[in-house]
Structure 1
Amino acid sequence: MRCQPRYEGPVYICLNTVQICLLCDEPADAEMPICVACETDLPWLGEQCSTCALPLAAAGLTCGECLLEPPAFEQVVVPWQYGFPVDSLITRFKHNAKWPFGHLLADVLGQYLQHRFDEGLPRPDALLPVPLAGKRLRQRGFNQAVMLARWLSQSLDLPCEEQVLRRIKETGAQQDLDAKARKHNLRNAFEIMPDAQVQGRHLALVDDVLTTGATAQALARLLMNAGAARVDVYCLARTPKPGA
């Protein structure tokens, strides 16, 4: 049974008329429903690890964990820290089906990624949404990563390939687990679909939030072992190190 909705229409109305900012209800200055002031005040991620995007004190550094155990993915590309109001917007999108918030964040992420491509970040061959556990998909009714990947596919003119990765193991919620427990929780949780084209391709995983990176690492390792040339990770927000 496919629970993923196939809604082809706009999630919010994109007209030539002035949009209303979804965050402050004031007129927006562009086609997207967010004003310049609210966009500027979003928790933009500053100095970060050059690999996993963990917030750091200075630019051009690699965090200790990536130095000790380099991940299978090449780079995490993410615009925001997981802080207000982005955390609230993601929660309302993911848990309350408030799709306009997710679409708005995906649009801004798309602009951010296009800027990075223009600066030299290699464009991937395809976007791969992180698969959701079947039980959680049935409860929620949609996979937020699939919806983000579809919106990014439209704005960046990149294929969204939803039938490459599959979650084959029902795992408990990751939110309350530490890094070690998350890795154990995800052991043998995913597989590559039999007809998927992976060999020699540059692929980008799409998800909403990156916390410890355990899910991204498990999927990237699976893809690299199957012959992928490179795996990147695109997400909306990056959490700081616990206690930071």
Structure 2
Amino acid sequence: MDCQPGHGRLVYKWLNNNQQCLLCDEHADQSYPLCSACEAELPWLDERCLCCALPLPINGMLCGQCARRAPPFNQVEVPFHYGFPLDSLISRFKHQARWPLGRLLGHLLGQWLLARFDDGLPRPDLLLPVPMGRKRLRQRGFNQAAMLARWLGPQLGLAVDEHMLLRPHETLAQQDLDARQRQRNLLQAFTLVPRARVQGRHLALVDDVMTTGATARALAQLLLRAGAARVDVYCLARTPKPGAA
């Protein structure tokens, strides 16, 4: 496996022997470049909202927002909360084009999802990466959600469609806005390609981090209005509620 799908010459080869851990540089005693000790120390998300995966003090509950009003998506599946060192790994993947780190994180997400499918989570018909605006795509050079989806597809045995969802209107960067501003910022930000095959299908959105969930809500509403039967969300990490520990 390589960490640069569809981009010609390989810059990194995912070997199954003599690998070093990408976190501590020690020998990786696994088939991917992460040692068991570092994997155990990652910020695994245990107690969470049953629907949106917001970190909670105890497990098996809905958060206040989901209890008051069910979101348009059915389930958020995420293995980690957005804490050290995962926050640094995601940032280096997104903003410094450290693709090996993104490839590793995508593999861990895939392992998580395979275990959840074994536990009875319904498998989707299609993976849809969250689209990026043209201006931001030119600036960054790649869409990290699309790369994650490309890596997840073969691992999960699922098809990926990078072109069904469009973001024709440039919006402000979501990380610079509060929850209410994020929702306003995304009004009419997304659309579907003409004649998109959505009717009756179970679709899963792929992204790197969920913060307020505004992007996932906007896209899920769009897909449900077009006739989707179910929309789930797969991402690497979930942030806590602002002000929470």
TM-score band, normalised by the shorter chain?
over 0.9
Tell me whether 1:59 sits opposite 2:78 in the alignment.
no
Matched residues in 2 for 1:32 and 1:8: separation? Answer: 22
Q: Give the superposition deviation at 1:168.
A: 1.5
Code of the residue aligned with 1:23 in structure 2: it is: L
What residue in structure 2 maps to residue 109 of structure 1?
109
Which residue number in structure 2 is paired with residue 43 of structure 1? 43
State the 1:13 CA deviation: 2.5
AA aligned to 1:209 is V
Cα distance in 1 for partners of 2:168, 2:13 equals: 37
Identity of aligned residues (%): 65
Moved over 3 A (4+): 8-12
CA deviations on 1:14-48 (whole Å, 9 max, x unpaired) are 33422100000000111100000000000000110
Looking at structure 1, the residues matched to 75 and 179 of structure 2 have their Cα atoms a distance apart, in angstroms, of 19
Distance 1:17 1:209 in 2: 30
User: Does the CA-based 8 Å contact 1:18-1:30 persist in structure 2?
Assistant: no
Within 5 A, what are the aligned runs for 1:66-105? 66-105=66-105
1:122 aligns with 2:122: yes
Q: Deviations over 1:199-236 (max 9, x none)?
A: 00000000000000000000000000110000000000
Stretches of structure 2 lacking an aligned partner (at least 5 in a row): none
The residue aligned with 1:169 is 169
Is this contact kept in 2: 1:127–1:203, CA < 8 A? yes
Q: Following the alignment from structure 1 to structure 2, what is the Cα–Cα distance between the partners of residues 211 and 6?
A: 29
Alignment coverage as a number of residue pairs: 241
- Indicate how the Cα distance of structure 1 residues 56 and 8 shifts in structure 2: closer, same or farther if over 3 A, else same: farther
> Shift of the alpha carbon at 1:10?
6.0
Partners in 2 of 1:9 and 1:17 — Cα distance?
A: 22
State the match for 1:214 in structure 2.
Answer: 214
Q: Secondary structure at the match of 1:175?
A: helix
Which residue in the other structure is 1:195 paired with?
195
187-196 or 5-14, which deviates more: 5-14
Counterpart for residue 138 of structure 1: 138
Three-state SS of the structure 1 residue aligned to 2:122 is: coil
Deviation by residue 1:57-103 (Cα, 9 ceiling, x = unmatched) = 11110001011121100010000000111100100000110000000
Q: CA deviation at 1:6?
A: 2.5
Match of 1:15 in 2: 15
Q: Structure 1 regions of 5+ residues with no counterpart?
A: none
Question: How many angstroms apart in 1 are the aligned matches of 2:36 and 2:11?
Answer: 21
For residues 117 and 9 of structure 2, the distance between their equivalents in structure 1, rounded to whole angstroms, comes to 27
Shift in Å, 1:195:
2.5
2:154 is the counterpart of 1:154: yes
Tell me the CA shift for residue 157 of structure 1.
Answer: 1.0
Judged with a 3 Å threshold, the aligned counterparts in structure 2 of structure 1 residues 60 and 173 are, in CA distance, closer, same or farther, namely same
Give the SS at the match of 2:160: coil
CA distance in 1, matches of 2:117, 2:12: 26
TM-score (norm 1): 0.96
